[in-house]
């Protein structure tokens, strides 16, 4: 990595959208690598993303599919993969015979929580580098109402 005045040169010319995207990809990659270095079971970023939609909830497969920006077929594949690893349980919905509900198993929940600790550690490293006030401001800006962006 080449830096100038505290700015990574590859990011210097990026607009806001691409800069957020690049940092997102970088952070997700670091989280995935940290998990895979410490555990025997490989979990992809897409699987973590799906698990986040299931954690402490009991959504249907179709609800999860609508919430993630992954094709329906790929979402089903990831859910089946999580089930085969023993992290997700698939059950029939009570009020609809066609629908199936998802729930993390105890192994899935504990793994999700271990991964949350990895992310918290990474967030602390970001705070150490940027300062707690800067990270708090960034979080506040990202959580703020940005108005109607679809009209752009």
Q: Has residue 109 been placed in a domain?
A: yes
pLDDT of residue 7: 64
Q: Say which CATH number the domain at 82 has.
A: 1.10.10.10
Number of structural domains (the chain) is 1
Q: Are 89 and 102 in contact (CB under 8 A)?
A: yes
Q: Has residue 47 been placed in a domain?
A: yes
Q: Has residue 60 been placed in a domain?
A: yes
Q: Has residue 140 been placed in a domain?
A: no
Q: Has residue 92 been placed in a domain?
A: yes
Domain that holds residue 104: 3-131
Q: How far apart are CA 109 and CA 56, in angstroms?
A: 8
Give 32-81 pLDDT, tens digit per residue: 999 999 999 899 889 999 999 999 999 999 999 999 988 989 999 999 99
Stretch 73-93: mean pLDDT, rounded? 95
Verdict on whether the full-model pTM lies above 0.85: no
Q: Has residue 68 been placed in a domain?
A: yes
Between CA 11 and CA 16, with CA 14 as vertex, the angle to 5 degrees is 115
pLDDT of residue 3: 60
DSSP H helices, 1-143, are 16-38, 45-54, 61-67, 72-84, 106-130, 132-143
Q: Has residue 152 been placed in a domain?
A: no
Q: How far apart are CA 80 and CA 132, in angstroms?
A: 40
Q: Cβ contacts of residue 89 below 8 Å, gap of 6+?
A: 83, 102, 103, 104, 105
| 1, pLDDT greater than 70 | no
Q: Has residue 141 been placed in a domain?
A: no
């Amino acid at each position: 990595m080449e830096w100038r005045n505290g700015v990574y040169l590859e990011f210097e010319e990026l607009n806001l959208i691409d800069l957020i995207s690049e940092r997102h990809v970088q952070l997700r990659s670091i989280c995935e690598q940290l998990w895979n270095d410490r555990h025997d079971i490989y979990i992809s970023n897409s699987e973590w993303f799906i698990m986040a939609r299931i954690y402490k909830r009991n959504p249907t497969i179709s609800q999860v599919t609508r919430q993630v920006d992954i094709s329906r077929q790929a979402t089903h594949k990831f859910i089946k993969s999580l089930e085969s690893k023993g992290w997700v349980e698939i059950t029939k919905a009570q009020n609809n015979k066609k629908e199936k509900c998802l729930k993390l198993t105890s192994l899935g929940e504990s793994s999700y929580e271990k991964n949350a600790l990895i992310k918290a550690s990474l967030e602390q490293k970001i705070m150490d580098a940027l300062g707690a006030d800067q990270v708090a401001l960034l979080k506040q800006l990202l959580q703020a109402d940005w108005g109607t962006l679809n009209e752009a």
